[in-house]
Amino acid sequence: MVDENSADGKIKVTLTANREIKSISIDNSLLNDAEELEDFLIITLNKAIEKASKINENEMAIAAKSGMPNIPGMDMFK
């Protein structure tokens, strides 16, 4: 799971490494200003998705490396 908080801590987003959103928590103070809420959500979700993508890419690289047979001259995954 990937957790990301807005800079001021008023929004918390949790998603999987496959970029599936599991939860969004919003501080009540943001509920009065839709534009501010939208801005915070976009920024926080994008940061969380970026983190999840990096984790996913790393896990895929590890899986690809461990699944490759030891063929001479094919050491590009080392």
Q: Which domains does the chain have, with CATH numbers?
A: 2-51 (3.30.1310.10)
For residue 15, give the nearest of 46, 59, 58, 57 by alpha carbon.
46
Structure tokens at 30: 């943001």
**The pLDDT value given to residue 42:** 93
Write out the chain's pLDDT in tens, 78 residues.
889 999 999 999 999 888 899 999 999 998 999 999 999 999 999 999 999 888 888 888 887 777 666 666 666 555
Residue whose C-alpha is closest to residue 5's, from 44, 46, 53, 39: 44
C-beta of residue 48 within 8 angstroms of C-beta of residue 40: no
Residue 5's pLDDT is: 93
**Residue 19 in contact with residue 4, Cβ under 8 Å?**
no
Secondary structure class of 36 (helix, strand, coil): helix
